[in-house]
Amino acid sequence: MGRYFKNIFDAVRTILIGMRITARHLFTPSVTIQYPDVKLKLPARARNRLYVNMDDCIGCDQCSMACPVNCITIETIKSTSDVDLGVTSVGSKKRLYVPVFDIDIAKCCYCGLCVYPCPTECIKMTEVFEFSEYERENLIYNFATMTPAEVDDAKRKLAASESTAATKPAPASRGTNS
């Protein structure tokens, strides 16, 4: 009979312990953020959506090599000597066309390893974290700015330049035979 009352006492005691925690939160004022209208301030080093400034991209492929999940696809076309592609914001001369620069955000693990090796600092993590989509194909972001006509023109110029360089005879060396 004593065990019966002890079990009842233990049950009431544990319920009161749980209710004490509930009562503590019951009388504290709640802090509710109305999410779509009010957004929390993100930490300074938050890792979110990637952005690529194609005006600064030199096509070095460092970000793609650093990516542990291979979500970055870069294709480049060598420019000819008669074309000036300009310079980046940090002063690096651009020597390659970048017709394809795709990031598959569905694969991205937001590690930020692609940001640091970029010599021109053209790839950055932004503060945008809301990018849900209904179709998986919509999570592949295309950052390249070249049109198909510009890509064809660049390939044609490169092929013409390479064919003239291949037909041109190599300069003879002026060494003396001793």
Q: Which domain holds residue 122?
A: 50-162
Question: pLDDT tens, 9-20?
Answer: 999 999 999 899
Contacts of residue 42, defined as CB under 8 A and 6 or more positions apart, other chains included, come to 48, 127, 129
Q: Provide the mean pLDDT of the chain.
A: 87
Q: Which residues pair with 123 in a beta bridge?
A: 52
Residue 74 in this model has a pLDDT that exceeds 70: yes
**CB of 69 within 8 A of CB of 109?**
yes
Closest CA to 53 of 107, 93, 101: 101
Percent of all residues in the chain with a pLDDT value above 70, rounded to a whole number: 94
| Domain count along the chain | 2
Same-domain check for residues 70 and 152: yes
Predicted confidence at residue 69, as pLDDT, reads: 94
Predicted confidence at residue 67, as pLDDT, reads: 93
Q: Is residue 41 part of a domain?
A: no
- For the entire predicted model, the pTM comes to 0.70
Q: Is residue 39 part of a domain?
A: no
